[in-house]
Amino acid sequence: MPERADVELNLRLDAVMEGVLVSGTVRARFEGECVRCLDSIGGEVVAEIQELYVYPERADDPDTETDDDEMRVEDDMVDLEQPIRDAVVLALPQSPTCRPDCPGLCPVCGARFADDPDHAHESTDPRWAALAGLLADETKESGSTRAGPTEEN
């Protein structure tokens, strides 16, 4: 997300027996780079959030099974930062692209295939390089006078 960007929250807080249930939607802008061509991209991410904040007296009750990672109501307030951050990060695209058919960059020189679709390099597969060397040696030995099979009558 861009620094100091607004985050839109549409949340519902429900008082339940264990504590406060927070549920709703988070909207935020994001910026990044295309994983194929490294162009800047941006967009909007929408994430769902649902988190239970346990009342302190329920959390301290020995008869109640509690988890150390569970969120708690503190001084009649809930801290939404971590659940919102987690929801937004999980909703972001893992491999963002500028467009679905982005051709990317040339792995040899880094040229953008979108700018030059016919871009190519003449190269020999390294697995065949030894054979290409043999072919070059054979043409040197035979020179320009290459004899082929002849027909005799």
- Domain positions in the chain: 7-91, 105-143
- Is this structure's pTM higher than 0.85? no
Does residue 145 surpass a pLDDT of 60? Answer: no
Which percentage of the chain shows pLDDT scores above 90? 44
Residues 6+ apart with CB under 8 A from 95: 35
Give CA–CA dist 135/138, Å, rounded: 5
Asked if 42 and 100 touch (Cβ cutoff 8 Å), the reply is: no
- Structure confidence at residue 47 as a pLDDT band (50, 70, 90): very high
Asked if 122 and 109 touch (Cβ cutoff 8 Å), the reply is: no
